[in-house]
């Protein structure tokens, strides 16, 4: 265990024990526990929101995870929850719980910028369907979170709000594109974050920041209400989902984001829990996806997860994911051909920052090569790959796999052609899950050299319950990794731009 790891663990334990009666501060608690305490009158929703606002004022200037703090609206919503409880009314299962929301998801009265300076005043007139559902269940949007421009980098920075910083290390990425939510949750700015995942964008930041995330099945959560055009690639490959510190919180949020179709033609009102599967549950562990070596730290995290699942009664067997290389190519072809809203793409320099333009000029030829042999019909090939994976799941209903086969990269890596060249291969398992519309849960399993690591548990479509159960079994057998204070180096050399 490294000196940094000892510092982090002792810091968490010390802050827990320093509270009166060994009670932790409110910002350290899970969403599930906070909802219980609010409902039983141990604490008010206003007190919970105020505790998180104080934490935000202390920490966000260092990490730059939040782009807009909705303090007045959040306090008013908290007062409404408290009043409902006083009058014996039902405030909802997430009664008074603060949440953050990524800036590519509509929250009424705040800007949906997508990290783009030209959209700084694009104020949403109503909530996205699943945000409206969460509000109805009692959750309270407390802030908007940072993201890369267009959600198209695996690092969170943009020309509008600057860079979000990984609280574990000033030198490493927090991931992207839902990096703002991952950092916010990891540092206790909120117990719950809502992001999106079109190419690992929930799971990769979870790996970089040591938190949990759920990428739901295609069709579970309404994505579009038809008020703006949505490219086919994002309808097919992208989903909305939660980030949290605890699996129970993922489950709580997931339960309340699936009911409304919001006018989304992909929405499928499928029961949240599927039929029982044979016991013991068999799990395929992918240790060399597509023949690619994985980093020793990632391999260690994967093996630890396998050991913990074995202890919980699961049966682990090593194998490779079928058709993985072609799945990555088909994903890239669909995104390249159908990931835009206009026939002719404007020059990137005219719509994005110089930093993003630099990234895209480096990555575009790598992206083009990653498409492989053009498919006659990519959706036909997708169906064939889906059939192979369905047969695989028929033998082992769960897959345990890396998210990215490498740990959080050093800042600047995604602007370097050599470093960036291996991204399509290292992210194949993440994007295969998007291509096939499968659910996956990212769950942290350990720390190496001061950085957290996570794995993903993948299941057949609409079996989020199996993923969540397995992730909960892992979580129950390891100590908590978050919330944490940012590494002292961040405060000493912070250059983030805070809105």
Q: What's the pTM?
A: 0.95
Question: Would you state the pLDDT for residue 343?
Answer: 81
- CATH code at 28-487: 3.90.1300.10
211 membership: H or E segment, kind and range: none
In this prediction, residue 345 has a pLDDT band, given cuts at 50, 70 and 90, of confident
Question: What's the order of all strands across the beta sheet hosting 451-458?
Answer: 66-69, 140-145, 98-102, 192-197, 239-244, 212-215, 440-448, 451-458, 398-402, 282-285, 315-318
Q: What is the pLDDT of residue 322?
A: 97
Find the mean pLDDT for residues 174-193.
98
In this structure, the strands spanning 98-102 and 192-197 are: parallel
Q: Is 48:34 a contact under the CB 8 Å cutoff?
A: yes
Residue 455 has pLDDT above 90, yes or no: yes
If you write DSSP's letter for every residue of 234-262 in order, what string do you get? HHHH-EEEEEESSHHHHHHHHHTSSS--T
How is residue 367 written in tokens?
């992206």
Residue in the block written with tokens 């009911």: 259
Angle in degrees, CA 267, 270, 275, rounded to 5: 155
pLDDT of 10 above 50: no
Res. 349 pLDDT band, cuts 50 70 90 = confident
Asked if 214 contacts 468 with a C-beta cutoff of 8 angstroms, the reply is yes
Eight-class DSSP state of 93:
T
Cα separation values, 9 from 30, 117, 412, 447, Å: 18, 39, 29, 11
> What confidence tier does 342 reach under pLDDT thresholds 50, 70, 90?
confident
In sequence order, the 6+-apart residues with CB closer than 8 A to the CB of 167 are 62, 63, 174, 183, 186, 187, 209, 484, 485, 486, 487, 490
Mean pLDDT of the chain: 93
Region 342-346: mean pLDDT is 82
pLDDT above 80: residue 78: yes
| Domain limits, the chain | 28-487
Residues marked active site are found at 102, 177, 201
User: Is 301's pLDDT higher than 50?
Assistant: yes
């Amino acid at each position: 265990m490294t000196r940094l790891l000892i510092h982090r663990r002792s810091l968490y334990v010390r802050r827990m024990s320093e509270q009166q009666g060994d009670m932790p501060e409110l910002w350290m608690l899970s969403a599930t526990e906070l909802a219980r305490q609010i409902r039983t009158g141990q604490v008010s929703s206003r007190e919970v929101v105020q505790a998180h606002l104080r934490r935000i004022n202390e920490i966000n200037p260092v990490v730059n995870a939040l782009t807009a703090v909705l303090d007045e609206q959040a306090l008013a919503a908290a007062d409404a929850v408290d009043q409902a409880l006083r009058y014996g009314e039902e405030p909802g299962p997430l009664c008074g719980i603060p949440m953050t929301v990524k800036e590519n998801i509509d929250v009424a009265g705040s800007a949906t910028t997508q990290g783009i300076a030209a959209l700084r005043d694009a104020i949403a007139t109503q909530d996205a369907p699943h945000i409206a559902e969460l509000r109805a269940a009692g959750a309270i949007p407390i802030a908007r979170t940072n993201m890369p421009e267009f959600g198209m980098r695996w690092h969170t920075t943009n020309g509008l709000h600057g860079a979000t910083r990984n609280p574990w290390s000033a030198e490493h990425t927090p991931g992207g594109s839902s990096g703002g939510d991952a950092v916010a949750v990891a540092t206790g700015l909120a117990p719950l974050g809502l992001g999106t995942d079109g190419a690992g964008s929930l799971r990769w930041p979870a790996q970089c920041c040591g938190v949990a995330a759920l990428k739901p099945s295609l069709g579970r959560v309404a994505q579009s209400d038809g008020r703006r055009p949505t490219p086919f690639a994002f309808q097919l490959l992208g989903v909305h989902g939660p980030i949290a510190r605890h699996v129970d919180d993922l489950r709580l949020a997931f339960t309340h984001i699936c009911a409304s179709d919001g006018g989304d033609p992909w929405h499928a009102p499928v029961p949240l829990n599927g039929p029982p599967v044979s016991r013991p549950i068999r799990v395929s562990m992918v240790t060399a996806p597509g023949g690619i070596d994985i980093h020793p730290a990632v391999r260690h995290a994967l093996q630890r997860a396998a050991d913990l699942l074995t202890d919980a009664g699961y049966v682990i067997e090593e194998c490779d994911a079928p058709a993985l290389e072609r799945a990555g190519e088909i994903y890239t072809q669909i995104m390249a051909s159908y990931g835009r809203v206009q026939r002719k793409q404007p020059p990137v320099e005219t719509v994005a920052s110089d930093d993003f333009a630099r990234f895209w000029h480096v990555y575009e030829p790598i992206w083009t090569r990653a498409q492989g042999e053009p498919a006659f019909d990519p959706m036909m090939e997708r169906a064939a790959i889906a059939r192979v994976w369905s047969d695989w799941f028929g033998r082992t209903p769960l897959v345990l796999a890396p998210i990215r086969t490498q740990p959080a990269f050093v800042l600047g890596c995604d602007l370097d052609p050599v470093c960036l060249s291996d991204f399509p291969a290292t992210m194949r398992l993440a994007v295969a899950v998007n291509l096939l519309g499968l659910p996956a849960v990212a769950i942290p399993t350990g720390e190496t050299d001061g950085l957290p690591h996570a794995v993903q548990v993948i299941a057949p479509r609409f079996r989020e319950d199996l993923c969540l159960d397995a992730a909960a079994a892992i979580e129950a057998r390891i100590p908590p990794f978050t919330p944490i204070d940012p590494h002292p180096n961040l405060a000493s050399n912070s250059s983030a731009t805070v809105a």
